Amino acid sequence: MKMKLVLAGLMIAIAPTIAFAEGDAVKGKKVFKKCKACHTADKEKNKVGPHLVGIIGRAAGSVEGYKYSKTMKAKAGEIGNWDEAKISGYITNPKKYLGGKSKMTFKLKKEGQRADVIAYLKSLAK
Ligand code: HEC
C-alpha cells in the first residue's frame, strides 16, 4: 500500500519533465529556417533534400522522384517510419545515424531546437 503511494508520487514528479521535453512549434518554425535551404514542409516539392510533408509517420527514403543516397536507400527498411525520436537522432548527425555517407550534411546539435523543429513539423500535419 505504502509502496503504491510512493510510486504515484514519483509519477507526479516525473510527469512535468516529460511534458517539458515536448517542443514549441512556434519556435520550431524559426528553427525550420535552417532546413529551408534544402527542404519544404508545406509543399510536395523536392529541393536539395526531399520534401517533408507528412514526415512524421512517413516511411524513410520514400519520396517518389527523389534521388536518395545509397546509404539512405540501404538503411530505409531498418529505419521504417519516421517518428519523433528517429528524426531527432537523424538530424543530430545524419552520417552517424545512417552509419555511412548521407546526402544531408547538416547537423542540428541543440536538443531544444530539435524538439522545437519536430513540434513544428508535427503541427503542420494537423
Ligand atoms: C544542406 C541541405 C540540408 C539541410 C540544411 C537539411 N537537410 Fe534534411 N536532408 C537533406 C538531404 C540531401 C536529404 C536526403 C538524405 C539522403 O538521401 O541521404 C535529407 C533528408 C532528410 C530527412 C529524411 C527524409 C526522408 O524522406 O526519409 C529528414 C527527416 C530531414 N532531412 C530533416 C531535416 C530537418 C528537420 C532539417 C533542419 C533542422 C534538415 N533536414 C536540414 C538535406 C538537408
Q: Would you give per-residue pLDDT tens digits along the chain (126 residues)? A: 566 666 666 665 555 444 456 899 999 999 999 999 999 999 999 999 999 999 999 999 999 999 999 999 999 999 999 999 999 999 999 999 999 999 999 999 999 999 999 999 999 986
- CA 24 to chain centroid: 13
Do residues 118 and 57 make contact, with C-beta atoms less than 8 angstroms apart?
no
Distance from the CA of 49 to the center of ligand 1, in angstroms? Answer: 5
Do residues 49 and 38 make contact, with C-beta atoms less than 8 angstroms apart?
yes
Mutate to test the pocket of ligand 1, among 33, 35, 46, 122 (most ligand atoms within 8 A of CB): 35
Count of CB atoms situated within 10 Å of the CB of 17 = 8
Count of CB atoms situated within 10 Å of the CB of 49 = 17
Q: How far apart are CA 109 and CA 85, in angstroms?
A: 14
Atom of ligand 1 nearest to the CA of 69: 17
Do residues 65 and 42 make contact, with C-beta atoms less than 8 angstroms apart?
no
